């Protein structure tokens, strides 16, 4: 891991708190069962074939076909990601490297322009960029071996996360995977 120079320490952490841990597993279905059956986390909200306005991987446009399932474990959001096509992406390269498991952490940021500047100043490489329908964007940056997603979208879009979190608080183990949108 390449250390970030002293003058940049803690700048990234000031952008926001970690709100999500995201996994890219080889066996998505088995991982989903592990989280619901073994860990007792759920319900997961399944979003199939997510449509984004645009996506770039290492600065080049890509047509990414992916799905995610999201649940809450207390205050922490757990995300499982499955890519359906072979488009170049942070998910595809992860699996091609023979890796699986915890893939990235996510911060909600208030100002993507500021986040991009701080990441650039810290020497972080933007690996992937996604522009979201209805406004907002996400970037995935390599911070010396740690992949961090930074997402900025309209605050009214956060209500769906609040609904997911509320569902987790009273979850009794039934209906562990629910389709969303």
* Size (the chain), residues: 181
Residue 152: count of CB within 10 angstroms of its CB: 21
150 vs 181: which has the higher pLDDT: 150
Task: Give the dihedral sign, CA 37/40/46/49.
Answer: negative
**Residue 5 — very low, low, confident or very high, per pLDDT cuts 50/70/90?**
low
pLDDT at 8 over 90: no
The proportion of the chain whose per-residue pLDDT surpasses 90, expressed as a percent, equals 75
| CB-side neighbour CA atoms (13 Å) of 140 | 20
Q: Which residues pair with 178 in a beta bridge?
A: 45
Share of the chain above pLDDT 70, in %: 94
- Cβ-contact 129, 60 below 8 angstroms: no
pLDDT tier at 7, thresholds 50, 70, 90: low
Domains of the chain as residue ranges with CATH: 10-167 (3.10.180.10)
Contacts of 80 (CB under 8 A, 6+ apart): 22, 23, 24, 25, 28, 31, 32, 35, 44, 68, 69, 70
Instruction: Identify the pLDDT of residue 6.
Output: 53
Rounded average pLDDT over 132-158: 89
State yes or no: pLDDT of 168 exceeds 60: yes
pLDDT for the residue 3: 53
């Amino acid at each position: 891991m390449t250390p970030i120079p002293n003058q940049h320490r803690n700048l990234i952490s000031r952008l926001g708190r970690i709100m999500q841990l995201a996994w890219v597993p080889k066996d998505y279905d088995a991982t989903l069962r592990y989280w619901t059956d073994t860990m007792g986390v759920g319900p997961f909200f399944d979003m199939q074939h997510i449509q984004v306005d645009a996506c770039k991987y290492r600065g080049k446009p890509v047509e990414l076909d992916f799905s995610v399932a999201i649940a809450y474990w207390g205050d922490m959001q757990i995300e499982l990601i499955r890519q359906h096509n072979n488009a170049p992406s942070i998910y595809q390269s992860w699996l091609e490297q023979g890796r699986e498991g915890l893939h990235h952490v996510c911060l909600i940021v208030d100002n993507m322009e500021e986040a991009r500047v701080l990441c650039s100043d810290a020497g972080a490489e933007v690996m992937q960029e996604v522009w979201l329908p209805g406004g907002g964007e996400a970037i995935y940056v390599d911070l010396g071996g740690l992949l961090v997603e930074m997402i900025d979208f309209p605050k009214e879009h956060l209500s769906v996360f609040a609904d997911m979190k509320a569902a987790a608080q009273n979850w009794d183990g039934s209906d562990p995977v629910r389709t969303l949108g």
